[in-house]
Amino acid sequence: MKGWPLIVIVVAATFVVALGIAQRGGAASAAEVPAFRATIYEGVIWSVEWEDGRGKTRGLTRAAEEGAVPGGSGSWNVDMRGRLYSTDLEVTFQGNRDLGPLYIPWSRIVSIQFGDGGRRQVR
């Protein structure tokens, strides 16, 4: 019975973190990312699409045309790299040091394509 209160605290904390992630449209802050994550893959991202928590999807792509954005809402011509972990996807934006990483929980990812698509640079 000694461990019972600790279990309740852990379950409650997990619920609060999950609720906070859901309210922000699928993106998580660095403080909410678990410390233990196993890296599955790392490299240049061609495109990524995720659910925003409001019934819509958002996307990013390296393609230089607006119509290529996965989900129809998001940004195109984006130079990005990613690390796919067992818990989430961490997207970093290469040419823009002012933008911090974007964390997308595993459960929100609709599709992801790694590779540069033959484009070595994004204009």
pLDDT tens digits for range 15-71: 444 444 444 445 655 556 667 778 999 999 999 999 988 889 999 999 888 888 888
CA atoms within 13 A of residue 99's CA, in its CB half-sphere: 14
CA atoms within 13 A of residue 1's CA, in its CB half-sphere: 0
Q: Average pLDDT, stretch 88-107? A: 90
Answer for the pair 60, 75: CB distance below 8 angstroms, yes or no.
Answer: yes
Nearest to 82 by CA among 35, 115, 117, 122: 115
Phi/psi of residue 79, each to 5°? -90, 110
Q: pTM of the entire structure?
A: 0.66
Q: Tell me: the pLDDT tens digits for 83-94?
A: 999 999 999 998
Answer for the pair 36, 19: CB distance below 8 angstroms, yes or no.
Answer: no
**Domain residue extents for the chain:** 1-123
CA atoms within 13 A of residue 12's CA, in its CB half-sphere: 6
Q: What is the DSSP code (8-state) at residue 99?
A: S
